[in-house]
């Protein structure tokens, strides 16, 4: 006899769906890292979320225990609290990353402006400016013997 979700109790069916969703999320994250579409430092957060959902789905009494520990009377509400905390952690992490990248972008723009100013102040020999920049990047000419 094939066991389908219609033969299972609604609570067990929901738990199985949560477990399958968590496993799919973790597998998707591993695949994205393997294909180098997601950096490892970001994958850790997503794997942590997937593993948390998996643990909550596998450990039957954990949701009720957490709900009573924090004073929540309806245990499924804990899932929303956990999701909210995860989203807040992601937002803080991405905000710090964007702030750091913005600072780096400003610094690079300032350095580029200084380099352009130096090039404009140097006397030119009428040569192609792009070629002279490439030659300067190589460094001073060396004596070859």
Q: How far apart are the first and last CA of the chain?
A: 87
Give residue 145's pLDDT: 44
- According to DSSP, residue 4 is labeled -
29 neighbors 46 (Cβ within 8 angstroms): yes
Whether residue 6 has pLDDT greater than 70: no
Q: What is the DSSP string of 100-142?
A: HHHHHHHHHHHHHHHHHHHHHHSPP-SS-HHHHHHHHHH-S--
* Average pLDDT score over the chain: 83
Q: CA-to-CA distance for 134 and 118, rounded, in angstroms? A: 14
- Render pLDDT for 56-88 as a digit per residue (tens, 0 to 9): 888 878 888 988 999 988 888 888 888 899 889
Secondary structure class of 29 (helix, strand, coil): helix
57 neighbors 22 (Cβ within 8 angstroms): yes
- Render pLDDT for 8-66 as a digit per residue (tens, 0 to 9): 777 778 788 888 989 999 999 999 999 999 999 889 988 998 998 889 888 878 888 98
Give residue 69's pLDDT: 93
């Amino acid at each position: 006899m094939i066991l389908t979700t219609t033969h299972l109790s609604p609570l067990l069916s929901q738990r199985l769906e949560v477990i399958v969703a968590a496993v799919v999320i973790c597998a998707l994250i591993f695949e994205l890292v393997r294909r180098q579409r997601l950096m490892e430092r970001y994958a850790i957060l997503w794997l942590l979320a997937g593993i948390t959902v998996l643990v909550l789905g596998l450990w039957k009494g954990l949701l009720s225990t957490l709900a009573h520990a924090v004073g929540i009377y309806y245990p499924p509400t804990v899932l929303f609290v956990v999701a909210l905390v995860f989203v807040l952690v992601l937002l803080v992490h991405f905000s710090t990353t964007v702030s750091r990248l913005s600072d780096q972008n400003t610094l690079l723009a300032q350095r580029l402006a200084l380099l352009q100013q130096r090039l404009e102040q140097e006397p030119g020999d009428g040569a192609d400016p792009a070629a002279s920049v490439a030659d300067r990047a190589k460094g001073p000419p060396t004596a070859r013997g």
